[in-house]
Amino acid sequence: MAVQQSRQIAIVIAEKNPLLQSSLVKLFAGDDRFHVAAVANDGERFLDTVDRTPFDVGVIGWEMPNLDGRGVLQALRGRNDAPRLIVYTGSPNPDVPRQAMTLGAAGFCSKREPPEQLLDTIIAVAAGRMVFPFIDVSSLASDPLAGLTPRERELLAALAGGLTNQQMAGQLDISLNTVKFHLKNLYDKLGVGNRAQAVAFYLKGHESR
């Protein structure tokens, strides 16, 4: 059934590649169903735009400087006034659509798809639907560890090994603040509140395999 539109769909783009930015702006400018309200080149600027510019749908990258797509979704999770978000990425990681869905995205579109696929996804999402490639939704509940990034898995294993934050920073060659940032994301994904609960979750997950 065709989607009835009474007005243009206002879009904000968050994309690190300037060439792709301009290509997307041209794509939307050539279709009177859409209006580009703003363009950001990273997740932090996108969040600034959310706070000051009303719009319907955000088209965000997954891998962006300063704040990536995961961070954007986490920052907006639970906000009643948040725009609906589509993750638009060329990431080869087959788990990204599932992670995006788990974090509250409304849609996913691969950059390998024709541009028309992105337009169709935006229209559907603006109409209140969710648009994702096939995802085995049973895995969302059965294995929360599957949603962790490789770095988060490293940190979880390090936690289980008894390492302190400072030791993890040294072992992984990252800053202490970065360790704390990843641990917060890790705890959020696992639904735990502290280090001991995360370790218990890790051990339980390995026992069941």
**Rounded to whole angstroms, what are the CA distances from 206 to 12, 192, 198?**
41, 17, 13
For the chain, the average pLDDT equals 86
Check: pTM over 0.75? Answer yes or no. no
Whole-number Å distance between alpha carbons of 122 and 131: 9
Burial 65-96 (b: 16+ CB within 10 A, else e): eebbbbbbbbbbeeeeeebbbbbbbeeeeeeb
Q: What is the DSSP letter of 131?
A: B
Q: Which CATH class is domain 9-138?
A: alpha beta
* Positions of the chain with pLDDT under 50: 1-4, 208-209
As annotated, the residues of the chain forming the CATH 1.10.10.10 domain(s) are 150-202
Per DSSP, the three-state class of 60 is strand
Q: Which CATH class is domain 150-202?
A: mainly alpha
Whole-number Å distance between alpha carbons of 39 and 37: 7
Task: Give the tens place of pLDDT for each residue, 144-159.
Answer: 666 677 788 888 888 8
Task: Give the tens place of pLDDT for each residue, 191-200.
Answer: 777 888 888 8
